[in-house]
Amino acid sequence: MKKLLIIHTGGTFGMLPIEPSKTLAPADIQKYILTYLPEIVEIAQIDFEVAFNIDSSNIQIHHWQKLAQIITEKYNAYDGFVIIHGTDAMVYTASALSFILQGLSKPVILTGSQRPLAQIRSDARSNLISSLELATYHIPEVSIFFGRLLFRGNRTLKISSTHYDAFASPNYPPLAEVGLDITLTKNILPPGKALNYREKFDSRVFSFHFHPGLAPEYLNCILASQLKAVVIDALGAGNMSIYENSLIPWIRKMTDTGRIVVISSQSPYGRVNLDLYKSGELAQKAGGISCHDMTLPAAIVKLMFLLGQHPNDPQKIATLLSQPIAGEIAP
């Protein structure tokens, strides 16, 4: 029988219906899960660990590091890891873990639920059971299971705050589908040779949404700040105003002062193409870099990670940004 570790981090999954704000004591999590899902012991030999117990909107870099440390320390003792996590920040944690835990040869699956496990008609039951089953398969990467699909974690977006199919990976096909049978696809990363743990991050990253009417003078506070990288979530293929309220001079000032400016797209499907329009051409000339087909959360976390790994080397970060670390961007 395979050995799996469930790591609990909080979120709706473990909330008590009567006292939703009350957090369970670490020992109670195991009891709670086994009370509602006694059958999981048939899937594998399962141990439990509580890393922390918070709503995922409170997640910080040190929480990612703690999770990665737990997995690294227990890596040889288990065949797979299932992380119970709040849905709100799940894609950020999945992206961070995919960058920290390079060279995985075992599954690390994040899941959660829209309804607490203890409530009737909860999606927590099927999400956890399927994640545990999937963790017994050969899926050597950080993924997210929700609803009926397994996604590459760093390609995923939370697309609904109410639906049970709450996640999607618009620019990468699912890794597996759970129906009557479990069907693995050919989209899974090959296994790594050895786990290569790198945990340094630099949080000096900021992102903002471009919209018509945005006046560049409001962005001067970014120029005056300690921020090292900015992601402009732009329109369509990566477009923004270049006539009235042009952002191009601001991008130039940012890159001239050694900061990185990345351009992503508000359109979840497709990719940024800075060669398509005048706006992209000027943004590139000013030193802007394309996010290609990366999700905005993956781009933000990747910048934090690359800044942590290569402090004071914006050139290197710009080069590495467009190269895949864990399948987050098309090669």
CA distance 184 to 152: 12
Provide the b/e sequence for 6-32 (b: ≥16 CB within 10 Å): bbbbbbbbbbbeeeeeebbeeeebbeb
Tokens of 75: 């890596």
- Give residue 322's Cα distance to chain centre: 17
Q: Name the residue nearer to ligand ASP (CB basis): 86 or 107.
A: 86
Residue with tokens 């693995």: 184
Q: How far is the CB of 134 from ligand ASP (least distance, A)?
A: 19
Strands 157-158 and 149-152: unpaired
Q: Name the residue nearer to ligand ASP (CB basis): 60 or 183.
A: 60
CA distance 177 to 328: 20
Q: How far is the CB of 83 from ligand ASP (least distance, A)?
A: 12
Q: Name the residue nearer to ligand ASP (CB basis): 87 or 131.
A: 87
**Mind telling me the catalytic residues?**
12
Q: Name the residue nearer to ligand ASP (CB basis): 52 or 206.
A: 52
CA distance 228 to 216: 18
- The yes or no reply on residue 107 touching ligand ASP (CB under 6 A) is no
Contacts of 126 (CB under 8 A, 6+ apart): none
CA atoms within 13 A on the CB side of 26: 8
- The yes or no reply on residue 112 touching ligand ASP (CB under 6 A) is yes
Q: How far is the CB of 53 from ligand ASP (least distance, A)?
A: 10
Q: How far is the CB of 26 from ligand ASP (least distance, A)?
A: 17
- The yes or no reply on residue 140 touching ligand ASP (CB under 6 A) is no
Residues in the chain: 331
Tokens of 159: 């697309």
Q: How far is the CB of 323 from ligand ASP (least distance, A)?
A: 31
Site string for ligand ASP, 10-29 (x = CB under 6 A): xxx-----------------
- Among the residue ranges 27-35, 49-57, 146-154, 232-240, the one whose residues contact ligand ASP (CB under 6 A): 49-57
CA atoms within 13 A on the CB side of 196: 9
CA distance 14 to 187: 31
Q: Name the residue nearer to ligand ASP (CB basis): 112 or 174.
A: 112
> For helices 90-100 and 296-309, what crossing angle results, to 10°?
40
Q: Name the residue nearer to ligand ASP (CB basis): 85 or 152.
A: 85
- The yes or no reply on residue 86 touching ligand ASP (CB under 6 A) is yes
- Give residue 152's Cα distance to chain centre: 9
Contacts of 299 (CB under 8 A, 6+ apart): 207, 231, 262, 264, 291, 321
Q: Name the residue nearer to ligand ASP (CB basis): 112 or 140.
A: 112
Residue type, 86: G
- The yes or no reply on residue 55 touching ligand ASP (CB under 6 A) is yes
* Site for ligand ASP, residues 267 to 296, rule: CB under 6 A: none
SS3 197: strand
Q: How far is the CB of 63 from ligand ASP (least distance, A)?
A: 12
- Among the residue ranges 64-72, 87-95, 191-199, 218-226, the one whose residues contact ligand ASP (CB under 6 A): 87-95
- Among the residue ranges 28-36, 54-62, 236-244, 300-308, the one whose residues contact ligand ASP (CB under 6 A): 54-62
- Among the residue ranges 81-89, 101-109, 138-146, 323-331, the one whose residues contact ligand ASP (CB under 6 A): 81-89
- The yes or no reply on residue 118 touching ligand ASP (CB under 6 A) is no
Selected from 49, 50, 87, 152, the binder of ligand ASP by CB under 6 A is: 87
- The yes or no reply on residue 56 touching ligand ASP (CB under 6 A) is yes
Residue with tokens 């040869």: 105
- Binding stretches for ligand ASP (CB under 6 A): 10-12, 55-57, 86-89, 112, 114
